[in-house]
Amino acid sequence: MEKVVIIRYAEIHLKGKNRGFFEHVFADNLEKSLRGIRHELHRTSGRWLVEKFEEGRAEEIAERVSNVFGVHSYSIGYLIGSSMEEIFEGAKLVAPTSGTFKVETHRAYKKYPLSSMEISAEIGGRLLETFPALKVDVHTPQNTVYIDVRENGTALVFCGSEEGVGGMPVGTSGKGLLLISGGIDSPVAGYMMAKRGMTVELLHFHSYPYTNEGAKEKVVTLAKILSKYTLVTRLTTVKVTKLQEEIHAKCAPELNVTLLRRFMFRIAESFARAHGYQCLVTGESLGQVASQTIEGMTSSNAVVTLPVLRPLVGFDKEEIIARSRKIGTYETSILPFEDCCTVFLPEHPAIRPALSFIEEEEKKLDVDALVEEALSTAEKVTF
């Protein structure tokens, strides 16, 4: 008898002939999440078992795999032999000692001498004899003891399961470059794209000395939190101080933010193409701030040809905050450090800027030189 962590996957079973690829990436991601813990990972009929780990580390293993995209649910249980005596001994370890319960059996091995209902009735009866304070309730039990009889002469027993994060394994849906600020929205956007299987790397713009080192460290902390889900995260920071000073000195003040965002998109696309990213990802939500009107988004899109994904575009602020709390980024995101978009912020920013006016103002700037200068400041950190 051996304590194990049982992992069930989410959408992978729908992938038909490509299923093997998704399973391979999923297993690799599970292994990455368990680095530093001695263990073995084995696949068995649509699920994985984490076995042969050190005593007392089951809860830690369960917590780690709970954050791996593709995990539908997980349980801590026991891998045992398939005789009724062995199944009963395992069931005693996971069963409650009081309250209501039922036993539910699944037989992957259909030639087992007893049916699923017969196994459940037999084990349930033995548990009632062992724990007199137990009562059977097959409709709304407080606890369910699960028995899973496998094809290889083994069985699994466990009591209940916990929900995983779902989604698709990271690394199965291409590579995206997330434009991450220190705010609430962009980390959530990165999380959501990673949940759909995208490998997400991060690009952050700062305006030192107008923004201080605390603002930069805040983004580093957010990147570390995201790496729990993305497994490996690369953060690149780019300094945009000079181009902001040029915009402020030469262009219409109401376009400060709009022009800055167009430069951000140019820089991001240049960086993405140089490093093999296939799209840009932002935390924009339609109508949330002046630069996130449809006109503002159109202005930003006009300077790039890579796809721009906005997974939060239809979310309201409360929905984004709730997701941020759930993934653990909220408390860091609200730390009071300014980002570069607040530097030279106009009193009345343009809400629906005409593209022709934007392009006319941009002619006052040496666009290519400013992009190259910003890219020359790039610094990378890997988590």
DSSP line for 115-156: -HHHHHHHHHHHHHHH-TTEEE-SSS-SEEEEEEE-TTSEEE
For residue range 71-116, list pLDDT tens digits in order: 999 999 999 999 999 999 999 999 999 999 999 999 988 899 999 9
Q: Diameter of the chain by CA atoms? A: 86
In the chain, residues under CATH classification 3.40.50.620 are 175-382
Residue with tokens 């962009």: 186
Domain covering 175-382 assigned CATH 3.65.10.10 in the classification: no
- Which pLDDT score, from 0 to 100, does residue 232 have? 81
- Which pLDDT score, from 0 to 100, does residue 346 have? 75
In the chain, residues under CATH classification 3.30.2130.30 are 2-163
How far apart, in whole angstroms, are the C-alpha atoms of residue 357 and residue 352? 11
User: pTM for the complete prediction?
Assistant: 0.90
- Please count the other Cβ atoms lying within 10 Å of the Cβ belonging to residue 276: 10
- Which pLDDT score, from 0 to 100, does residue 340 have? 67
For residue range 324-362, list pLDDT tens digits in order: 999 999 999 999 877 766 667 777 788 888 999 999 999
For residue range 4-29, list pLDDT tens digits in order: 999 999 788 777 788 889 999 999 99
Helix axes 116-130, 84-94, angle to 10 degrees: 60
Please name which of 226, 228, 218, 296 lies closest in space to residue 257, comparing C-alpha atoms.
Answer: 296
Mean of pLDDT values over 45-69: 94
Please name which of 66, 277, 75, 251 lies closest in space to residue 165, comparing C-alpha atoms.
Answer: 66
Considering only the top CATH level, what class is 2-163?
A: alpha beta
How far apart, in whole angstroms, are the C-alpha atoms of residue 4 and residue 39? 10
For residue range 211-230, list pLDDT tens digits in order: 778 888 999 999 999 999 99
DSSP line for 294-321: HHHHHHHHTT--S-EE-TTTT--HHHHH
**What are the two backbone dihedrals, phi and then psi, of residue 55, each rounded to the nearest 5 degrees?**
-55, 135
- Which pLDDT score, from 0 to 100, does residue 341 have? 67
Q: What is the DSSP letter of 254?
A: G
How far apart, in whole angstroms, are the C-alpha atoms of residue 28 and residue 339? 36
How far apart, in whole angstroms, are the C-alpha atoms of residue 70 and residue 76? 18
- Confidence category of residue 294, pLDDT binned at 50, 70, 90: very high
Q: Supply the Cα-derived Rg of the chain in whole angstroms.
A: 27
Q: For residues 140, 145, 150 and 156, what is the CA-based torsion angle, rounded to 10 degrees? A: 150
- Which pLDDT score, from 0 to 100, does residue 105 have? 97
CB 65 within 8 A of CB 5: yes
